[in-house]
Amino acid sequence: MTPSLTDRVLADYADRIQRLRSALRLVFAALLAAAVCAGVPRSQWPPLLGILAVYVLIALGSMLLWVRRPPVRHFVLVAALGGVLDVVTTFLLLELTSPAYLLLLLLFILPVFSAFNLRRTNTLVALGCNVVAFTLAVVSDPVMTRTLPAATLTVLILCHVALCLLVLTITDMQRARTYRIGELLDSRSLLLRQVMTAEDDQRRRLAEALHEEALQSLLAARQDLQDFGTTAAAEDLRRADETLQDVSLALRRMTSEMHPDVLESAGLATALRRLLASAEGRGLTVSHDVDEHPTGYDRLLFTVARELVANVMKHAGASHLHLALRQSPQQVTLEVVDDGSGFDPSVLEQRLAQGHIGVASLRARVEAAGGTLTYLPTERGTAVRVTLPAATGPQQ
């Protein structure tokens, strides 16, 4: 089953947060080392620095793991173990030396590192361990228990619990906000699919109407002219016949471009080649490198290719056009490159404000399908690349 945009947004955000946590863990290790060096006698350093060395190695391994291959199947477990590791390391350093109030301070603020979590389970595990460790550290400290009244120690522990509850609240709010963003993206995707379906239906109905009515009437008129011919009017009839033939060819081309039957009957590759043949018939030199297999996005990719090719013919002043369609197990890529006058992507917003929504509409459609539309740097002309994830669902 294809994950929804909401699921993808949550997964992507959670993955980026864990990468950030992995980097922050190295920062926390540096703070622990500074606390040991500043607040612990040098004679007690060796075992503490040994623990820190192991912690740093695990932190580096965790960072490499999240950067190169996030553990999707065991995401919750691995992320939760990372939070427990932070608490256990700090608590061990505290227990092996006394007093070390800089380390106790770091244990107090450690819950802040869990504020970025999206998963409540991970946050609860980390905060629970933190409360237990901080409470044990306070009540087992001989100096604090001897010099501070029980009420003061209780308030100190309650302050730590309050901080943990605040972090938990932030986690819940962050998850709700991210989930809402995903829902809005799902809604936008649904609306775009409905718009695309409505547009395709409209194009099909208009193409059928032109083919069944206007084109048939023109063909009938040509037949009447051929049946009617007289010697005196032969030249006039020939010109009229040529005009009707040109109009008939134009209507055939328009109906084919608006709703190509070949896309459904022969597939995307054939439809793209016919689209390029139409462009070649209008004076462009074309080349192509088209994968023959279904993409899962045939209708969407044809719509994008049709719009991009039309833009080249209308605005680029190009003499050559190259179209490439490639597939891999991970993604589908469409590229359209021309040698025309070029295009500045920075003016897209300005053109959108003026009512030119063609490229912006294409980008929105591609992004709604989980892909990207980007302009590639090129010395001359324009190069556009559309990248979509490998499809696992029905055709789009």
pLDDT digits (tens, 9 = 90+) for 308-336: 888 888 776 788 899 999 998 888 999 99
Contact 305, 336 (CB under 8 A): yes
Distance CA 134, CA 131 (A): 5
pLDDT for residue 344 = 64
Choice among 4-8, 221-225, 323-327 with the minimum mean pLDDT: 221-225
Lowest mean pLDDT among 65-79, 97-111, 274-288: 65-79
> Minimum mean pLDDT among 16-30, 185-199, 334-348: which range?
185-199
Q: Report the b/e string of 37-68 with b at 16+ CB within 10 A.
A: eeebeeeeeeebbebbeebbebbeebbeebee
Q: Which two tokens stand for residue 249?
A: 């060819």
Within 117-215, where are the H helices? 120-139, 142-147, 150-209
Instruction: Please give the average per-residue pLDDT across 34-43, as a whole number.
Output: 88
pLDDT for the residue 377: 81
Q: How many CB atoms lie within 10 A of CB 295?
A: 24
pLDDT score of 355 more than 50: no
Higher pLDDT, 375 or 158: 158
pTM above 0.85, yes or no: no
Long-range contacts of 71-79 (CB under 8 A, 24+ apart): 72/11, 75/14, 76/119, 76/121, 76/122, 79/14, 79/18, 79/21, 79/117, 79/119, 79/122
Q: Which residues contact 173 (CB under 8 A, 6 or more apart)?
A: none
pLDDT tens across 186-199, in order? 777 777 667 767 66
